[in-house]
Amino acid sequence: MKLLTTANAKIMKGEKEGWMTLGIHLAPANLSGYNVCHWASRGCTKVCLNTSGHGAFSTVQEARIKKTKLLKEQFSVFAAQLIKEVKAAVKSAAKKGMRLAIRLNLTSDIPWELLDVQDGKTIFELFPEVTWYDYTKGYKRMLDFLDGKMPANYSLTFSRSESNEKFVHAIRARGGNVAVVFRRSLPDSWHGTPVVNGDKNDLRFLDARGVVVGLVDKGKAKKDDSGFVVSDHKMV
């Protein structure tokens, strides 16, 4: 069973910038029986993009559930397969003359910096030449990143939801980036902070510090009524 994928329209956009980007799609929230989105809000769970694109196929959903169960039930097997695939990706990117970036949490929010993948090392330590990045709704994880407690080759962007906005301003004040989903269009700024187009590509580690990463509502998010999608941004 292959873990890493390039079959994601968002991460494929990075190729134009010279980046080969891969990621892992797990079964989000507790769809597999294991919760891999510890900080997910009700709105986030409801509008998750898990079923968009290829995710609409039952075979894809079954594969994501299998990967998640493998991670939780046979981590050593999962880790060995991940290492094997990353090694292959490093070689492939070099052959293509591209830089390699990997997002392990395409549809999850796992603190990979805490996981021993091999010989007491995290995946980030095993592959220092790879650029790793993720979105997270974990406030403490984001603070650790801003305090320089994360691996140097791992970048995090805080993901706003209807239940964690109380942390957003503190993160922005410390120079952290915050992803916000907006209704229909992106504003030039949000609460006085410049908004960059996060739909242009997924290369968040290239963003300037202290910006809002704007994402336009898609799929189920277009019908969100939880507050996860910001609808009054024209006023702020």
Angle between helices 58-73 and 75-96 (to 10 degrees): 120
Tokens of 26: 């797990």
Q: What are the Cα distances from residue 211, in Å, to 21, 54, 75, 158, 185?
A: 22, 31, 36, 11, 17
- pLDDT 10s digit of each residue in the chain, 236 long? 899 998 788 889 999 999 999 999 999 888 899 999 999 888 888 887 664 555 555 778 899 999 999 999 999 999 999 999 999 999 999 999 999 999 999 999 999 999 999 999 999 999 999 999 999 999 999 999 999 999 999 999 999 999 999 999 899 999 999 999 999 999 999 999 999 999 999 999 999 999 999 999 998 888 888 999 998 765 45
Which contiguous run of DSSP H or E holds residue 197? Answer: strand 193-197
Closest CA to 100 of 117, 120, 85: 85
